[in-house]
Amino acid sequence: MTMIDIEEEQIGGVNTSECPLSASSTTVESEESMNGDIPSALEAEELQLALNKEATEEELLKAITRCKNLVLETKNCSVERKWLVRHLIELRLRLEECREAAADPEHPRNKSSGVSKRTIKGHHLILQPLLRSTTSRYCDHCTSTIWCLVQAWYECQDCTYSCHYKCMSFILRECAHVVTSERGAFEMEICPEVGLSAQRYKCAECKVNLELKKGYNEPKRCDYNGLYYCSGCHWNSLAIIPARVVHNWDFTPRAVCQASLQQLKVASNRPIINLEGLNPKLFNFVHELNLFRRLRNDLYGMRKYLLVCRIANEDHILWKGVDIPHLLETTNLYSLQDLMDVHSGEIFIKMQTWIDAFTKHIKVDCEICKGRGHICEICSNDQALYPFESNSFTCDECKAVFHKTCFNRKNQCPKCIRLKVRDDLMKEEEYCDDEL
């Protein structure tokens, strides 16, 4: 006998088997009623029967009584009755959850604040509101479904680790945010496998024994860290591996364990990849990556002008509309998301928009920034020249700016020559003074 049959016996002996509809049609109608919107006739009652995390045991008991009466008032085998029976079961499950939670002195129902925040294994777990959503969520500890409508559950605000209220005391996994912050970098060796024997044939996370034959405890390898996990810790989730991107420019998603998946999600937007230090030759083989580096250097050069401009600071031009700050702050650190956007081509439109806005301010709108332009000493052209322009060349010694074509023709910096002559004259004068 199913849970629905039991509930119907308790509320008046109603049996759905008396319905003239066939089994297949009943199933279809039931699925439509469960997955669809609440019938319009019950919208007003839904406000009274709403399930929320603040409901007390007394309120739930009243809602259960009201729901029983509504079931008796509806027609047999109707959509309204099927929805109400389902709602009655959910209310009773919620009542059981409420009673179990009330037995814990640390539960928010026993606190005046009414807010629950737990810290376990680095996770900052927040009690989530009961949602009216059909989206499936799964507990990261027991892997079973979290029924968001009727079950108390917590989620980590840092790494989105989710678990039932009853599973919190059994959490084994460290918070991905804590692990990533302590490590400070991605694993840059491609699948550093150590083998099952090195793990003593146990899951790398929960330490359950792994079996070599196919089944629930079949070992599954994580392509990110090379360790083996059981089915409860490895859900065959796919993710892009940073090491494969850096060394092979390979963006094919690979199977990773849940712990690695959460770590990759947490660190995907952090600029922790020094691409020029890890694989500088990659810029020669990937044209898009080389273009991205050049545009980024241009933005960094414009940033120096905007930081010292009073008008730019007042109008917040530098950070207005810029949602990736590290692209302006550094030139050699990349995030995994940056490389993914370069591969897809999405980042270039965004960067060109920033460059156009900054260029307009520096070269057209702002008199202060225009006054900080340079004049090429070689050709003596009156047009202002800026170091971030593609046709300019900046001397490494004296930081003077010239046209590229002019410098290549002259092949020496006039300012450096002038400074050298001045230093020689000063040394001669000092030598003459010493002789006298």
- Residue-wise pLDDT for 217-231, tens only, equals 789 999 999 999 999
- Give 79-119 as a 3 state SS string: HHHHHHHHHHHHHHHHHHHHHHHHCCCCCHHHCCCCCCEEE
Please give the single-letter amino acid code of residue 298: D
Q: What is the mean pLDDT of residues 13-37?
A: 37
Choice between 238 and 423, residue whose per-residue pLDDT is larger: 238
Question: Does residue 193 contact residue 199 with C-beta atoms inside 8 Å?
Answer: no
Instruction: Give the pLDDT score at 173.
Output: 92
Q: Specify the pairing of strand 145-146 against strand 137-138.
A: antiparallel
N- to C-terminal Cα distance for the chain? 117
What is the gyration radius of the CA atoms in the chain, in angstroms? 33
Is the pLDDT score of 189 beyond 90? Answer: yes
Is the pLDDT score of 200 beyond 50? Answer: yes
Q: What is the mean pLDDT of residues 283-292?
A: 93
CB atoms within 10 A of CB 154: 25
Q: 156, 172, 255: which is closest to 208 by C-alpha?
A: 172
Confidence of residue 426 (pLDDT cuts 50, 70, 90): confident
- Using one digit for the tens of pLDDT, what is the confidence trace for 386-420? 888 877 888 878 878 888 888 778 788 888 888 88
Instruction: Give the pLDDT score at 435.
Output: 66
3-state helix, strand, coil in the chain (%, to 5): 50, 10, 40
Rounded Cα distance between 2 and 8, Å, is: 10
Select the CATH number that applies to the domain covering 117-170 from these four: 3.30.60.20, 1.10.3720.10, 3.40.50.300, 1.20.1250.20: 3.30.60.20
Q: 187, 210, 186: which is closest to 198 by C-alpha?
A: 210
CB atoms within 10 A of CB 133: 9
**Average pLDDT of the chain to the nearest whole number:** 79
Choice between 297 and 34, residue whose per-residue pLDDT is larger: 297
Is the pLDDT score of 70 beyond 80? Answer: yes
Instruction: Give the pLDDT score at 131.
Output: 59
- Using one digit for the tens of pLDDT, what is the confidence trace for 342-361? 999 989 999 999 999 898 89
Query: CB-based contacts of 427: which residues, under 8 Å, 6+ apart?
Result: none
Q: What percent of the chain has pLDDT over 70?
A: 80
Q: What is the mean pLDDT of residues 333-348?
A: 93
Q: 66, 177, 56: which is closest to 123 by C-alpha?
A: 177
- Using one digit for the tens of pLDDT, what is the confidence trace for 124-176? 888 887 655 556 789 999 988 888 777 788 899 999 999 988 888 889 899 99
What are the start-end ranges of the H helices in 268-379? 275-278, 282-285, 287-307, 310-315, 326-329, 336-344, 346-360, 367-370
Instruction: Give the pLDDT score at 51.
Output: 45
CATH number of 189-268: 3.30.40.10
Instruction: Give the pLDDT score at 245.
Output: 96
Q: Which of 85-94, 109-118, 218-227 has the highest mean pLDDT?
A: 218-227
